[in-house]
Amino acid sequence: MSAAAMTDSVPLLTVDDLVLDFRTRSGTVHVLDGISLTLERGEILGIVGESGSGKSVLAYAMMGLLDPAARVPRGGIRFAGRNMLTESERALAETRGREIAMIFQSPRTALNPIRRVGTQVQDVLLRHANVSKKEARTRAIEALARVRIPDPERRFDAYPFELSGGLCQRVMIAMAMACNPYLLIADEPTTGLDVTTQAVVMDLIRDQVRSANASVVLITHDLALAGEYCDRIAVIHAGHIVEIGSTEAMLDSPKHPYTARLIGATPGGHESIDDLASIPGSLPDLRRDLPPCRFIDRCDRKLDRCAVDPLPAVAIGADHLVRCWNPL
């Protein structure tokens, strides 16, 4: 346990001006550009964006998981006092699972199909918690009980295929929370689940991390879901965080045209289908030379300077930042 994680004055996680490229055969893909954000202890941060916006790459980078093709020409990620991009693989392996844990989109694929689910929770404890096998089993069953899996002692011996998608995701949460991590990264944790199961799983994630005073980065494409469960929301578009702020500020008075459009395009609260706004265009090709603002081709508020001047960071309030020359 590092000292930084214990104090409240230093953010748990800091991403500072992160630039991340992928080198591919068809050229360099500018996946993330100038990403800066902080995450406090106990906070739930939502990262919301369309597919291809870079939100999952960012989540993986926070765990120090980089694709072999990835390059980081600038910026860094600090978690609990360590630099996640330069740390040795061995040190990272210690951090992951113990201090940062992740839950993935499709729990059935993320779990090992030929091992019993209880054993998989137990593995995490044996690897990280320095406990005996017997103790690990007891704690694994406790972990399964905490995520309210009915009859945890019997379910310990179940294989993933014997459990529903919702139960598999609970096992994933039990695994992730087994060692009381400081940070939980949840990458679209409820995609593919029924809306009723989604609600149960999201309640569970929120309640688990709240009681452990852990933090969450929730990656999602669903602004309404982020709105219900997150303290703060960052909207990401084509590798830029275009706006970040408290959930209330983001939803009640969005400042970036893209955030406003996303809200307008998300069904819910609209009187008629005619009120549902669309977002023109699509994400730009990230292999091209891009203008400073990557939203420019989809924007109806663009100014001449948007194509020339580097993106500004305009502070709206104490905790609300928009990267736009002509905010709403």
Please report, as ranges, the residues that interact with another protein according to CB under 8 A. Answer: 50-51, 148, 150, 164, 166-167, 194-200, 203, 207, 221-225, 227-229, 247, 251, 261-262, 264-268, 270, 272-274, 276-279, 282
From CA 16, how far away is CA 76, in angstroms rounded? 5
From CA 314, how far away is CA 219, in angstroms rounded? 24
Q: Residue type for 317, please?
A: G
Min separation Cβ 231 and another protein, Å: 9
From CA 1, how far away is CA 94, in angstroms rounded? 11
Give the residue with the Cβ less far from another protein, 97 or 152.
Answer: 152
Min separation Cβ 196 and another protein, Å: 4
Min separation Cβ 198 and another protein, Å: 7
Min separation Cβ 189 and another protein, Å: 13
From CA 114, how far away is CA 155, in angstroms rounded? 15
Cα-Cα-Cα-Cα torsion 105, 149, 171, 62, nearest 10 degrees, comes to 70
Min separation Cβ 207 and another protein, Å: 8
Min separation Cβ 327 and another protein, Å: 20
Min separation Cβ 64 and another protein, Å: 28
Task: Give exposure, 274-290, as e/b (b: 16+ Cβ within 10 Å).
Answer: eeeeebeeebbebeeeb
- CB–CB of 158/115 below 8 Å? no
Give the residue with the Cβ less far from another protein, 76 or 264.
Answer: 264
From CA 217, how far away is CA 234, in angstroms rounded? 10
Give the residue with the Cβ less far from another protein, 97 or 254.
Answer: 254
Q: What is the largest CA-CA distance in the chain?
A: 67
Min separation Cβ 46 and another protein, Å: 11
Give the residue with the Cβ less far from another protein, 34 or 49.
Answer: 49
Give the residue with the Cβ less far from another protein, 175 or 263.
Answer: 263
Which residues touch 168 (CB under 8 Å, ≥6 apart)? 107, 108, 111, 117, 160
- CB–CB of 41/99 below 8 Å? no
Give the residue with the Cβ less far from another protein, 221 or 301.
Answer: 221
Min separation Cβ 54 and another protein, Å: 14
Which run of H or E residues covers position 77?
strand 70-79
Task: Report CA 96 to chain centroid distance, whole Å.
Answer: 15
Give the residue with the Cβ less far from another protein, 95 or 247.
Answer: 247
Burial class, 136, CB count within 10 angstroms (exposed 0-12 / middle 13-18 / buried 19+): buried
Give the residue with the Cβ less far from another protein, 113 or 150.
Answer: 150
Phi-psi region of 239 (alpha: psi -120 to 50; beta: other; left: phi over 0): left
Give the residue with the Cβ less far from another protein, 120 or 198.
Answer: 198
